[in-house]
Amino acid sequence: MLVGAEPHLPYDRPPLSKELLAGAREPDDIALRAQGYDDLGIDWRLGRRAASLDGLELVLGDGERIACDGVIVATGAEPRTLPGQPQLAGLLTLRTLDDALALRELVTRGGPVVVVGAGFIGAEVAATCRGRGIDVTLLEALPAPMVRGLGTELGGVLTELHRSHGVDLRLGVQVNGFTERDGAVTGVRLSDGSVLPAAVVLVAIGVAPATDWLEGADLVLEDGVVCDESLLAAPGVVAAGDIARWPNPRFDETMRLEHWTNATESGVHAARRLLGHVEPFTPIPFVWSDQYDVKIQTVGCFDADDDMNVVDGSLGERRFMAAFSRKGVLRGAVACNRPRPLMLARRLIGTDLDDAVATIRAG
């Protein structure tokens, strides 16, 4: 049985901020199984929200109680909003297919568009809108896009990428509120009192794991559903995707990942765990983003405090791979338009940095 709050059959989320928003793909094009699901014999409960989990009994929002032999919790995450964010036409977040279609309809009418948050989703939407010739202002509270994860130098590369494509990227700014007329957003008010005119505003300031419905369940909730190394959260209950927090022995860290690759890999692993396979889940995180003509890819587990070295290509040309290391050990890598060395780096995570760099450079 598959219970889902959305009325749609499963679909691929990455195109929502890119090809679908651009009009290059339609909802049928992003279905996860073009051939359908009849052969799987699934009992679908779509458009119905889970309300609580009582042991191995699932309670739906309409009061129906469903006794289960095993449960995979995969309710993902929900977009964060700004404090006191009002309900206004044209003021949106982006998570679902319906969100993306609503955003596409609005941007088709033209701009200006203001995007709050220069993470992957905000940056991709800004790039897609610029590709459609729409005026875009991209607001970021930090000194550079994704500076916490990538550091100042790579954040600077992303800054120049957007500005070179005509985005009005404003850094170190705070949003204080919005202006409106007849229930529709007309602008974004900044902390300095200025107002940016806007026909469409997208708030893209991250997500929070969707665990509210699990309050009171016999689970540990701490920025997600806390699991063991095998993704088991409680007897008969596993978690997968954005909502799962587990200790990854490969990196000796507890992690929760919000990316497509983790959703697919952890979904498979969680299902195997329910079927009795107890091996630990030890993925190497892999993330990608398409912005303009640049494919940004990252692998591994690292942060801005780790040592960063460009080992292939040039930052100025936006064609490079940078290695991140800690105590002489390769922890991860970031690449722009350099997929081959990045895939080599992925296989070398956890090895001596100098040996890894030599292998990468040898191709």
pLDDT value of residue 36: 80
Q: Identify which has the larger pLDDT, 125 or 149.
A: 125
| pLDDT computed for residue 61 by the predictor | 95
Average pLDDT (326-355) is 95
In single-letter form, the type of residue at position 189 comes to: R
Mean per-residue pLDDT over the chain, rounded: 96
Q: pLDDT confidence of 363, banded at 50, 70, 90? A: confident
C-alpha–C-alpha distance, residues 126 and 322, integer Å: 25
Q: Which are the contacts of 106, defined by CB distance < 8 A and separation ≥ 6?
A: 90, 92, 199, 200
Query: Rounded to an integer, what distance in angstroms lies between the CA atom of residue 130 and that of residue 122?
Result: 12
Q: Which band of pLDDT confidence, cut at 50, 70 and 90, is reported for residue 78?
A: very high
Provide the CATH topology of domain 293-362: Enolase-like; domain 1 (3.30.390)
140 touches 170 (CB < 8 A): yes
| 302: pLDDT strictly greater than 80 | yes
Q: With 80 as the cut, is the pLDDT of residue 34 above it?
A: no
Quickly name the fold that domain 81-205 has: FAD/NAD(P)-binding domain (3.50.50)
**Domains of the chain by residue range:** 2-78+208-274, 81-205, 293-362
Strand order from edge to edge, sheet including 253-255: 225-226, 244-248, 253-255
Backbone torsions φ then ψ of 35, nearest 5 degrees:
-85, 0
pLDDT per position as a tens digit, 127-177 = 999 999 999 999 999 999 999 889 999 999 999 999 999 999 999 999 999
Which residues are registered as beta bridge partners of 333? 299, 323
Whole-number Å distance between alpha carbons of 165 and 126: 10
User: How far apart, in whole angstroms, are the C-alpha atoms of residue 86 and residue 84?
Assistant: 6
% of the chain beyond a pLDDT of 70: 100
Q: Does residue 213 sit in helix, strand or coil?
A: helix
Average pLDDT, integer, range 312-316: 93
Q: What Å distances lie between residue 158 and 91, 287, 301, 342, CA to CA? A: 25, 16, 20, 18
Across 315-336, average pLDDT: 96
CATH of 2-78+208-274, one of 2.40.50.140, 3.30.70.120, 3.50.50.60, 3.30.565.10: 3.50.50.60
Name the β-bridge partners of 206: none
Give the model's pLDDT for residue 33. Answer: 84
pLDDT given at position 35: 77
User: Are 360 and 349 a contacting pair, CB within 8 Å?
Assistant: no
Please check whether residue 46 is in contact with residue 7, taking contact to mean a CB–CB distance below 8 angstroms.
yes
Q: What is the rounded distance in angstroms from the CA atom of residue 8 to the CA atom of residue 272?
A: 25
Average pLDDT of the residues in 212-236: 97
Question: Which residues, listed in sequence order, are joined to residue 221 by a DSSP beta bridge?
Answer: 225
> What is the spatial distance between Cα 362 and Cα 320, in angstroms, rounded to a whole number?
15
Report how far residue 31's alpha carbon sits from residue 35's, in angstroms, rounded to the nearest whole number: 9
**pLDDT band (50, 70, 90) for residue 352:** very high
Determine the pLDDT at residue 206: 95
Cβ-based burial of 116 (10 A; exposed 0-12, middle 13-18, buried ≥19): buried
**2-78+208-274 matches 81-205 in fold:** yes
Q: Is the distance from CB of 325 to CB of 331 less than 8 angstroms?
A: yes
Indicate the length of the chain as a whole number.
Answer: 363
HSE, CB side, 13 Å, CA atoms: give it for residue 103.
31
Average pLDDT over residues 307-324: 95
Q: What does pTM read for this prediction?
A: 0.94
- Percentage of the chain lying above the pLDDT 90 cut: 96
- Cβ distance 239 to 72 under 8 Å? yes
| Residues 325 and 306: beta-carbon distance below 8 Å | yes
> 274 burial class (0-12, 13-18, 19+ CB within 10 angstroms)?
middle
